[in-house]
Amino acid sequence: MDNIIIPKSEIDKQKKIAASLREFCTGKKASVRTYGCQQNEADSERIEGALVLCGYEITKDTKNADLVIINTCAIREHAELRAFSGAGELKKLKENKKDMLIGICGCMIQEKHRREQIQKSYPYVDFVFGTDMHHRLPEIIFTALNSGKRVSFVSEKPHNDFGVISEDMPVKRKSDYRAWVSIMYGCDNFCSYCVVPYVRGRERSRSYDNIISEVKVLAAQGCRDITLLGQNVNSYKGEKAFPYLLSDIADIDGDFWVRFMTSHPKDASHELVDVIASNEKIARHFHLPFQAGSDRILGLMNRGYTKEQYLEKALEIKEKVKGISLTTDVICGFPTETDKDFSETLDVIKKVGFDMIYTFIFSPRKGTPAASMDRQVPREEQILRFNALNELQNENALKNNQNMVGQTIKVLSDGVNNGSCTGRSSQNKIITLDRPQEKGTFVDVVIVSAQQYSLTGRIK
Ligand code: SAH
Ligand code: SF4
Ligand code: F3S
């Protein structure tokens, strides 16, 4: 599908509406609560950018906000329940503050049954908007304030015609030294369990030039850690293929790391591994979800690779890029998964030795093929497998971290948080430091001890 960049005239129209709102909204406070993945975090920075343009001041203090937006996730049932309970908490607040505006957006809003549920059971929600509507936020707020009715801005057929890219709307970044840069949106892979292609629409890539310009500005501002975002960055379809985009970004002047999320194993190329190996500015972290070890389950999941192919890729990465941290996502209890299938998953974990695993129990998502497959695995078995995954991984994680004791590594400080001085390494490992270090600066650190999910280091 061709890129559909929202025309400048539409963006100008939104900026005009924002200007007309400023008189009314200046002095008012807005709060955005985010659930879900990095993509949603990045969207929330755009939402906050648009809110600032409308005159709002951003606050974390929901209680004192005049406008609250909940940015939701639909990936698993648990994520949806959390968002609903977040929305539920706002009811009381609004009872005490009648003119408070409440909006819900994000992936859950793209699901018809969730919109109906909000319509029916959350009467105090003033507006909802879909994942391709962020650039229209000024118009959405204007309409909500003026119509006195509930407002819905959602593409009716996200599945087919849901492919816009908005440039030139302001972004309010949470940090001045770590930044997200979206390089693509949506997903065309249709893994059989996953809701993302339905709620995020078709895959579309930003232009090479726009991405490079954004990174140049960040680098010039002193940003130290830049994460390129996409559901499957390897299928980036701009003017250059992903490995070359990554390499060009790493060549931009400035002292920063560039990282990326997420890679799909079927598209992670040898070129990509070679580019990472040859440039130290590309972070030593590779997140490569494998989901399951059994070829039969991988087939049912529509993942497009076998266990053997995955292992080859993972071991190539470890071999070519010394010291790289390899992390992954795993789903257990997928429909029809037997103990034998599951043992193949454990086998992959043993053979690769991941630094970190994100483990999930299969959650049926309405409208996806896996939700209606026969032989769903009973909950008790899913839990047993989930526990087995984590037990095995805990051992691996500790072993990997222990291997780092005595090494000197570069760490990006995050300053002092809740009384402890922490930072992150190029591998994205959390390091507890022995003394405060200004946040956003790099320091050399000797690793003195290892825990399962963090390391302790002494600044040199
Ligand atoms: N685009 C990324 C993943 C995004 S979703 C990729 O393909 O790697 C993040 C993770 O959530 C997935 O990797 C998967 O492990 C998990 N996930 C997605 N749908 C799920 C479902 N229905 N039940 C349980 N876990 C799920
Ligand atoms: Fe979902 Fe698969 Fe796309 Fe990842 S690649 S977002 S798991 S459909
Ligand atoms: Fe959730 Fe949407 Fe991300 S469903 S995981 S917030 S793309």
Does residue 3 form part of some domain?
no
Give the residue, out of 232, 287, 298, with the most ligand 2 atoms within 8 A of its beta carbon, to mutate for a pocket test: 232
Mutate to test the pocket of ligand 3, among 196, 203, 363 (most ligand atoms within 8 A of CB): 196
* Contact by Cβ (8 Å): 179, 54: no
263 and 344 together in one domain: yes
Looking at 402, 421, 445, the residue that finishes a domain is 402
Mapped onto helix, strand or coil, the DSSP state of residue 100 is coil
194 lines ligand 2 (CB under 6 A): yes
CATH number of the domain within which 447 lies? 2.40.50.140
229 ligand 3 Cβ < 6 A: no
Residue 189 and residue 273 in one domain: yes
DSSP structure string for 217-265:
HHHHTT--EEEEE-TTGGG--SSS-HHHHHHHHHTSSSS-EEEEE---G
Q: Decide which of 132, 161, 190 is a domain's last residue.
A: 161
Whose alpha carbon is nearest atom 2 of ligand 2?
Answer: 191
Q: CB of 264 closer than 6 A to ligand 2?
A: yes
Strand duo 178-182 + 164-165: pairing: unpaired
Domain total in the chain = 3
The Å distance, Cα 195 to ligand 1 centre, comes to: 9
Residue type, 298: L
Nearest ligand atom owner, CA of 389: 1
Our answer on whether the CB atom of 200 is closer than 6 Å to any ligand 3 atom is yes
The answer to whether residue 113 sits within a structural domain is yes
Among 380, 314, 378, smallest CA distance to 347 is for: 314
Q: Are residues 275 and 150 in the same domain?
A: no
Q: Which ligand is nearest to the CA of 287?
A: 1
264 lines ligand 1 (CB under 6 A): yes
Half-sphere exposure of 12 (CA within 13 A, CB side): 3
Domain annotation covers residue 173: no
How many Å apart are CA 201 and CA 189, to the nearest integer?
11
pTM: 0.96
Same domain? For 94 and 193 the reply is: no
Q: Minimum-distance ligand to the CA of 329?
A: 1
Does the Cβ of 363 fall within 6 Å of ligand 1?
Answer: yes
Which domain range does residue 424 map to? 408-459
Amino acid found at 452: Q
Distance 72 CA to ligand 3 centre (A): 8
Among protein residues, the one with the nearest Cα to ligand 3's atom 1 is: 73
| DSSP conformational letter for 378 | P
Q: Over its length of 460 residues, how does the chain's per-residue pLDDT go in tens digits? A: 455 888 899 999 999 999 999 999 999 999 999 999 999 999 999 999 999 999 999 999 999 999 999 999 999 999 999 999 999 999 999 999 999 999 999 999 999 999 999 999 999 999 999 999 999 999 999 999 999 899 999 986 654 556 688 888 999 999 999 999 999 999 999 999 999 999 999 899 999 999 999 999 999 999 999 999 999 999 999 999 999 999 999 999 999 999 999 999 999 999 999 999 999 999 999 999 999 999 999 999 999 999 999 999 999 999 999 999 999 999 999 999 999 999 999 999 999 999 999 999 999 999 999 999 998 999 999 999 999 999 999 988 999 999 999 999 999 999 998 899 999 999 999 999 999 999 999 999 999 999 988 999 999 9
